Amino acid sequence: MARTVRVAALQMGTTNIWDERPHTLERMLRLLQLAAEEKVQVALFPEIAFTTFFPRYYITDEARLAAFFEHGDVATAPDTRAVFDRARDLGIDICVGFAEAAPEGDRFNSCVYYHAASGQVLAKYRKIHLPGDVEPFPDPDAVNQLEKRYFKPGDLGFEAFRVPDLLREGDDATAAGHAGDQACDSQASGTPNGAVQGNVTGDPIFGMMICNDRRWSEPWRVLGLQGVEIVLCGYNTAGFAPHLWGASKDADPEEANRLSLFQHKLCMQAHGYTNATFSVSAARCGLDDGKYIMIAGSCITDPEGRIIAESKTMGDEVIVADCDLDMCRPGRTRTFDFGRHRRVEHYGRIVQQTGVVEPPLLTPGTGSVTKLKPATVAATAAAEATLLANDAPTEPVEAAVVPSTTPAPPTNPIQILLLNPTKDPTLTTALVSAAIPTLPADVSLTGLTVPTAPPAIFSRADALLAAAASLSAALDSTAAHDALVVASPLPGGNVAAADLLVAALREQCPGKPVVSALAAGVAAARALGGERVGLLVEDVGAKAALEDALLGACGGSSPFHCGGGIGVFGGAMPCGHAGAAAIAGVESCGLDELRVGAGGGGGGVEVEAEREHSLADDHDGPKRLSTPEADAVADKVLDRICAAARVLVADGPKKGPRADALVLGFCAPVPAAKVRAEVAARVLRCGDGGRKLPVVDPVVAGVQQVIGLVRMAGRMAGATAAGGEEAAAAAAAVGEATAGLVV
């Protein structure tokens, strides 16, 4: 008798945001009953099975968000235990996906394997490849995917596990008979006994992944290397969602749905084949909330990559198949005998590099091809070998490409986190959007909003609370980033929290560059020839706090400035201490008078009304002004900014020293590049021959500064060249750090 396990994918159709938990549980229990009638032994529920797919929504209310998560032991919690109790009564093992609120306070997209015979959770997996974004798309019609906002990446790895009590009578003897065959196979292939097929005891080997994990080859191969025989994967996958998939809004929705379904099946079939394993995938599908299309396509595939059972509807459905685990054996002993055929000495790049790093241009500065000598096998092998730290040195080989005259890019792309210590996501989006056009190709910038931060800083307590909330939010993301930029100055006086946060992050992230955008902006302005720096702010309410912060950034002792330790609060701003000579002043642009709608907590002026993110109102997007109205507002904004800039550079009895460089201290409803260009064109330095005024975007300055620091640190760490080459690298880093700051 073959080693056979009967499995089922329990597909679930539409689940709306207003659906009550008892209704959802009733559907799940019905699916289990149908599976029992089919004598199913293992049943798979979808990802986040107990609720709708809530990561599509932008949720700011903590209590509302917490309601989507399961707290405590999911198998015994009051809101979920009915499913596990019924599975135990029916004798069906189940794998269930859910949003997990872990005891330590972290949140994960998780699933568990529940063993009916013992009444225990046998294994847990937490989703590792979180798709989507932290911030929502600006387009109100976009389908968002905010898993990176609500979940931490999983921390349990891809661990295969054996499941007892599944094989039918007589299967153990068959499996034992295979043990001798496996021993012969292992001797032939040079692998340890049992490594070819695994599972010499007869217990099937399972592995779990969730949704987006299935698109990545690495989880499959890690499980394949453990001899996995059945991979379980629940999913919620959008159909037509052009923003989410990076497609055109003009795409045909039906074709987009077909493509999404094709890609899902492709992943399950191809990866199952290349790892000689069965796969089971269960969808949460249908039309959620009457507008969010989720694909179906629940299926079971065999080790040859064939679909042996699949869904026929877009609703609740049970898809059943028998998995003869001995079918995994041919692939593992021949085509995909890992022990004989894998060549790990050439795979170093997979674990040493995250983003794409392209080869250098054949002719630097052009896209043309130069006539090259053919690359030799030795050259290719040497290049591969350098990726492995423990490889022996290789003999020098003749280069197969024309060497570049520019420094080589780092092996790993530079990952930068831009932290906005306010609760306004629209501000984060605007800041990131302004900086992205200035980034080199090998740099990635991610914005992070702190939804629990106070809306404004009016006291030391406010500043401390904001810094603490920001630090807690940031520390979850620091491990995945090479450098951090704290967006300051900010509306409402949040620069106080930002400076405290910079000091705390430097303490918690040793070795990683952490900079304040304000300090970087002022430093850039002075480096570009500005002996006296002027700061343009949104309104008079921000002027006092930001004037004080500017003094601190220039080297003075400021009530809100955090130097090497904890900031000193209280008291009036001193007038004669160090750094004052570098300050030309702070000038309000009076943009509060033009306010059409403000982001949460006193954010920057916007030409859009604040987006309402209530779950009860269909999530309507921003109410936009018409194009003529928006253009009129933009013109008025630019006029007021330029007028304030003229005050800072003019002489007069009520004016201080003239500014010869400006820093933008706010995020206007006009692209930052346009603001810089207009000010540079319309405001000239007084008494300076009409030379254009440097105008610095502090966020861009901060991002470019940490790029240079990361590159410089990498060059210093790996330097083996002479001092002249190090000096050239340092000079290149300085050039990179100042690129794109000014018009």
Catalytic residue list: 47, 127, 211
- Alpha helix ranges (H) inside 109-170: 147-150
Rounded CA separation 35/89 (Å)? 13
Cβ neighbour number for residue 672 with a 10 Å cutoff: 22
* Residue 349 DSSP code: H
Task: Please give the single-letter amino acid code of residue 187.
Answer: Q
Rounded CA separation 533/659 (Å)? 5
User: Using CA atoms in the order 391, 397, 399, 404, what is the torsion angle rounded to 10 degrees?
Assistant: 60
3-state secondary structure of 738: helix
Token duo for residue 622: 């921003």
Q: Which residues contact 6 (CB under 8 A, 6 or more apart)?
A: 38, 39, 40, 41, 42, 320, 321, 322, 323
User: Using CA atoms in the order 413, 414, 419, 424, what is the torsion angle rounded to 10 degrees?
Assistant: -40
Cβ neighbour number for residue 335 with a 10 Å cutoff: 11
Contacts 24+ apart (CB under 8 A), 112-115: 112/74, 112/75, 113/161, 113/163, 113/206, 113/208, 113/232, 114/75, 114/84, 114/87, 114/88, 115/163, 115/164, 115/165
Residue 22, burial from CB neighbour count under 10 angstroms (0-12, 13-18, 19+) = exposed
Over 483-530, what HEC string results? Answer: EEEECCCCHHHCHHHHHHHHHHHHHHCCCCCEEEHHHHHHHHHHHCCC
Token duo for residue 420: 């906005």
- Alpha helix ranges (H) inside 103-190: 147-150, 171-189
Cβ neighbour number for residue 59 with a 10 Å cutoff: 20
Rounded CA separation 234/634 (Å)? 48
Buried b vs exposed e over 81-101: b needs ≥16 C-beta within 10 Å? Answer: ebbbebbbebebbbbbbbbbb
- Alpha helix ranges (H) inside 353-494: 377-385, 425-435, 460-478
Q: Which residues contact 428 (CB under 8 A, 6 or more apart)?
A: 135, 418, 420, 447, 448, 449, 487
